[in-house]
Amino acid sequence: MADKKPIELLIETTVDGQSPVELLAKYCDLSLVEIKATMSKGAVWVKRRNSRASTASSHHRAVRLRRTGRSLNCGDILLMNYNPTVLELEPLTPLLIEDRGHFSVWNKPAGMLCQGSRWSDHTTLYRWAEIHLSPQRPSFLIHRLDRMTSGLTVLAHNKKVAAYLATQFENRQTRKHYRVVVEGNCQLSLPYTINMPLDGKPSVTTIQSVLGRSGSDIDLNEPSSNRWPNEAILRQCSSPYTVLELAIQTGRKHQIRRHLCALGFPVVGDRLYGHVSSEMNETLDLQLQAHKLSFLDPNTDTRRDYCV
């Protein structure tokens, strides 16, 4: 695939029973094997023709087409978004915290996507779950973590549960706590609430406690896998830092990062909002982890609490 160039196709079928693999092969130089791999990784979509004359739209919304044996009908629109660089990416491995059948909770590693794009979804958390959970089942994304944010997230495995959980997030019935390493010696009267609108919308972040700071006594011989953050690496930098625990009442884009930067304590490793030339930013990736998550079980209405 390395020598291949990106391909974008939009094809409207003219006969019933057309094979999507064979149809795509007519319009590009990819082999049948490559086309099937492209479909399995979520880069091929179909917009089914809407046969109901009373509807305003002539087609249903586009959905990913993975099944190579699925035939097309006359008037269906087939789309392919082929990018060899994207398709060659390997997914990271998340840690399954608990599988309750109707939902599952995961510890997402930094660098893993929650949501796919039109180019693929094979490196996303929900696709990993669909492939690796036993028994296999569909996965529905309820809330998102930024790609470089690690930590807890929940997936639903049927539409009813997805709607129930999504309503909890929308109505702020969930509890979300984060651990974050910020640049500087953060000394505030706690709890400290940041109530600064973002993008014209109310946004509330509360710093609840200080979990550690540069200069504190820690056991640097403790295996780094048993502790977050890896303070042994942080200590290699001369810059001061503070480890905070905070909670958010709203979920605006990059809310924690933007709020802390505005406060004067940018997140370590934040190359978008933080100090680009910072010593820590040159050494470390984003130091932000969703470490506590609490919500009501869709089947029992009992509260489920998770922590990493």
At residue 55, the pLDDT reads 57
Angle at 70 between CA 67 and CA 71, to 5 degrees: 150
- Decide which of 120, 138, 171 is a domain's last residue: 171
Residue recorded with tokens 């979920």: 251
Question: Please, what sign has the CA dihedral across residues 180, 182, 185, 187?
Answer: negative
Structural contact between residues 188 and 246, judged by C-beta atoms closer than 8 angstroms: no
Segments forming the whole domain that contains residue 130: 95-171
Angle at 29 between CA 28 and CA 33, to 5 degrees: 100
Q: How far apart are CA 69 and CA 66, in angstroms?
A: 9
Judge if 155 and 184 occupy the same domain. no
* Measured CA distances, 228 to 145, 232, 287 (Å): 17, 10, 9
CATH number, domain containing residue 66: 3.10.290.10
Successive 10-residue mean pLDDT values, the chain, 308 residues? 84 95 97 97 96 72 95 96 97 97 97 96 98 97 94 97 96 94 94 96 95 72 61 81 93 94 94 80 88 95 96
The verdict on residue 306 lying in a domain is: no
CATH number, domain containing residue 218: 3.30.2350.10
Rounded to the nearest angstrom, the gap between the alpha carbon of residue 278 and the centroid of all alpha carbons in its chain is 26
The verdict on residue 302 lying in a domain is: no
- Decide which of 171, 190, 206 is a domain's last residue: 171
Residue 80's H or E segment, with its range, is strand 77-82
Judge if 186 and 276 occupy the same domain. yes
Q: How many domains does the chain have?
A: 3
At residue 238, the pLDDT reads 82
Q: Which residues fall within 8 angstroms of residue 3, CB to CB, at 6 or more apart?
A: none
Which among 283, 274, 239 is positioned nearest to 256, based on CA atoms? 274
pTM given for the model: 0.89
At residue 156, the pLDDT reads 98
The CA-based dihedral angle spanning residues 44, 49, 55, 61, taken in that order and rounded to the nearest 10 degrees: 0
At residue 9, the pLDDT reads 98
Judge if 136 and 82 occupy the same domain. no
Structural contact between residues 266 and 274, judged by C-beta atoms closer than 8 angstroms: yes
Query: Residue 175 burial (CB < 10 Å; 0-12/13-18/19+)?
Result: middle
- Decide which of 28, 62, 87 is a domain's last residue: 87
